[in-house]
Structure 1
């Protein structure tokens, strides 16, 4: 006796390319033809939810239906892969702790303020945001200061997890044991303590929406690690320009270990730290700032 499973509608190459281009224009994410199977598998549930017969009907829904903007969010939600954990890429965080935090402290005082802002761009489920807040708190440099760590993502689902702040054991696979004091057991996982949660905010934000990012004001450092690898070149350049505008002069941009600004931007300078190299927005008035300011 054989059991037949209904695999649902098949995605044609023409349909895939139309859908792929829609997703790209909205999110900046690039998918090559090898991603066609992923689109078919992950978007098939959206067809069922909307009771649509095939992917052509789904494309027309995304283009012309009154609920298209919300459904496009759901489509991207289904397509993105979110993988993160506390203290990811520890060598870079060590450089942030030992080199950048003292620099951020001095630069803030030079501006006559005791306020700092860090941005985790593409924060997924929030582990990076809380990691940065923990490192700030542990440093002791900013006691009594107004400290904000902002995390954004295009996925509302992962942001809900970030705001809940309760994590399973897999999220702690790289965390040094000395930071356990910042968590308490709760709901079958570990919850970030209130003092750290109070420093952190999360928002639904598309990195291509440069106008919305202005609401953040100026920031002292931006972490955007293993996010831009999914973007096409034009979208990557647009996001990097946004980062440049949002950083204080002298502020730093930290990318993933396999990412660089080669062929993307010449506006930043390389900063050699004790255990990493990161990008820095030149100080105002520097020769590089004057030379590259119009070339971004």
Structure 2
């Protein structure tokens, strides 16, 4: 007999309550077509906590001291964390060949490069950025900081561990594997030279206090993340990115994502290798109404 009894099925009211609670916490929005998804997958969490049903689970999410961790856990059930090293090669080429040299010219006196990988999942993206910068070999004497963040504690722990299986290397050239990884019984371990450039932390993109502690960034990667947000949440997150970037800084989204109808504060730059967004220096831009 399955553990998920008919009387535990998610009612319309319970669906709206849980959906809105998740939305208010982190901006992820589930429309009415997602009711079945929440019903089946969150039913696992009801059983895990030995609760009587979704009404009690809602109270757990709202008041229990473990609520933030629980919401982070259910993000793993409701979203896709699929990623791999060297994803979206054209954009990465624009980063190394055009964006980094431009930033270096502008910051010759300060000699700092700060990059944020927002929604970094299991860490392949920030480590890819670090490998590319090390391979460029032009940042000796520079202070390079790469911050990877994700709302899920599980994927953050994976990223901090820095050990990957072959599925993460589908777009990785052999030379990177040889230079930056050591094969172990568990998989391929990222080398300390790369790890030293990267800090991984758990972060909710709706947490204004945590975002304020980041400081100014030169480049923000946020690829295939805002697809999970509705229009209002997207505008809020994009405005946070705008405030976090220094003047002239770059925002790199996934190729299926756009700032159209979200913000007028960024210019779309047509670089040789890809199209990216750049924070304008004018004060007239802002989030679209």
Q: Partner of 2:100 in structure 1?
A: 101
Q: Find the partner of 1:208 among 191, 206, 209.
A: 206
C-alpha RMSD of the superposition = 1.7
Q: Find the partner of 2:173 among 176, 189, 205.
A: 176
Task: Classify 1:20/1:175 alpha carbon distance in 2 versus 1 (closer, same or farther; 3 Å).
Answer: same
91-100 vs 67-76, greater mean Cα deviation: 67-76
CA distance in 2, matches of 1:16, 1:56: 10
How many aligned residue pairs are there? Answer: 286
- In 1, are the aligned partners of 2:234 and 2:262 still within 8 Å (CA)? yes
**Secondary structure in structure 2 of the residue aligned to 1:221:** strand
**Secondary structure in structure 2 of the residue aligned to 1:279:** strand
CA distance in 2, matches of 1:186, 1:34: 43
Matched, 1:271 2:264: no
CA distance in 2, matches of 1:60, 1:179: 48
| Alignment TM-score, normalising by the size of structure 1 | 0.92
Q: Partner of 1:132 in structure 2?
A: 129
Residue 17 of structure 1 and its aligned partner are, at CA, apart by 1.6
CA distance in 2, matches of 1:40, 1:266: 38
Q: Partner of 2:119 in structure 1?
A: 122
Q: Partner of 1:286 in structure 2?
A: none
Residue 232 of structure 1 and its aligned partner are, at CA, apart by 1.2
Task: Classify 1:25/1:130 alpha carbon distance in 2 versus 1 (closer, same or farther; 3 Å).
Answer: same
Residue 60 of structure 1 and its aligned partner are, at CA, apart by 2.0
Q: Partner of 1:291 in structure 2?
A: 284
CA distance in 2, matches of 1:141, 1:185: 28
Q: Which runs of 5+ in 2 are unaligned?
A: none
Q: Extract structure 1 runs of 4+ deviating beyond 6 A.
A: none
CA distance in 2, matches of 1:291, 1:63: 39
Alignment of 1:1-296 (within 5 A): 4-8=1-5, 9-109=8-108, 112-180=109-177, 181-283=179-281, 289-292=282-285
CA distance in 2, matches of 1:294, 1:240: 8
CA distance in 2, matches of 1:67, 1:139: 44
76-85 vs 98-107, greater mean Cα deviation: 76-85
Q: Deviations over 1:175-219 (max 9, x none)?
A: 122322111102331111110000000111100112211211111
Task: Classify 1:267/1:186 alpha carbon distance in 2 versus 1 (closer, same or farther; 3 Å).
Answer: same
| Alignment TM-score, normalising by the size of structure 2 | 0.94
Residue 295 of structure 1 and its aligned partner are, at CA, apart by 7.0
Residue 251 of structure 1 and its aligned partner are, at CA, apart by 0.7
**Secondary structure in structure 2 of the residue aligned to 1:29:** coil
**Secondary structure in structure 2 of the residue aligned to 1:207:** coil
Q: Which runs of 5+ in 1 are unaligned?
A: 284-288
